[in-house]
Amino acid sequence: MMFSDKHKNDLTANGFTTVDSIYSDAEIDRLIQTIEQADSNKATFRKSADIFAIRQFLKEIPAIEPLVFNANLKNVVRQLFGEDYFVVKSIYFDKPETSNWYVSYHQDLTISVDKKVELDDFGPWTVKQNQYAVQPPIALLENIFTIRIHLDDTDENNGALKVIPKSHAKKIYRPETIDWLQESETICPVKKGGIMVMKPLLLHSSSRTTNQKKRRVIHIEFSNQELPKELNWAERIN
C-alpha cells in the first residue's frame, strides 16, 4: 500500500481518492468466505436478480469486523480522517455478473439513526427494513467520509463509480441542475483489494454491468460528530 499526502489532497480538493493494495488476495478470499457463510434470510439482507445487499453489515456479520479493519485500513482512517472518527453505517453490495442495476447521479444525503424524532433541521425521514434514515444539517454531512472496499476488479464495464470532481463542495447539488458545460465526469476504477474514499456530498453514479463480471463492495461511513441527545447513530462502532 502506497499512501501519501496526494491522497489527502485529492480527497479535500476533489472529494474522492483511490488507494490500491489495502488487502491481499488471501485477505479478500477470507472476507468473501465469511460473507458467504452468513445466514442470508435476515430482514437486513436484500436479494434480487440485480443486487444483493446487506444493511448494518458489520453488525450482522460480527466475524467480519477484524478482517475489514486490518492494519492498512486503520492506517488510512487515521491518516485521512484523524483519531476521533467512528463507524456510523455499513452496507455490503454484490452486483452480479448480469446486473442491469444502475444508479443515476446523486449525493448521499441521509444518515442512519435509531428512531424518528421531530428535530429542527432534521428531515425528511424515510424507513427501510426497520432502519430509520434522515437528512441531517449539511454541516454533519460535510464531516462524513465513506470508504468503499472493492472485492473485485472494478471498471466502467462493471459499475465503477462515475463522479463529478469538486461537487462535494457545493452543498446540496440537485442532479437535474448539473451544468455539463462547467462540470466534467471522472470514472473511478478500483483494483481488487483497493479502496475508494469519498465525501458523501460528491455527486456519483454507476452504470449497468456489461462485461459479465461481479462487483462486490463493502461501503462504510465514518463521522466524528455526536448527534442531538434525542438521537443515536444506528450503527455506531468505535
Domains observed in the chain: 5-223 (2.60.120.620)
- List pLDDT tens digits, range 109-162: 999 999 999 999 999 999 987 789 999 999 999 999 999 999 999 999 999 999
Using a pLDDT cut of 90, give the percent of the chain over it: 86
**What value does the CA radius of gyration of the chain take, rounded to a whole number of Å?**
17
Which pLDDT score, from 0 to 100, does residue 48 have? 80
- List pLDDT tens digits, range 57-81: 999 999 999 999 999 999 999 999 9
**What whole-number distance in Å separates Cα of residue 115 and Cα of residue 127?**
9
Q: Mind giving me the DSSP string for 65-93?
A: HHHHS-HHHHHHHHHHH-TT-EEEEEEEE
Q: In a 3-state reduction of DSSP, which class is residue 36? A: helix
**What whole-number distance in Å separates Cα of residue 25 and Cα of residue 128?**
34
Amino acid at 238: N
pLDDT, mean of residues 94-100 = 87
Which pLDDT score, from 0 to 100, does residue 99 have? 82
- Whether residue 124 is preceded by a cis peptide bond, meaning omega within 30 degrees of 0, is yes
Amino acid at 126: T
- List pLDDT tens digits, range 193-212: 999 999 999 999 999 999 99
DSSP 233: B
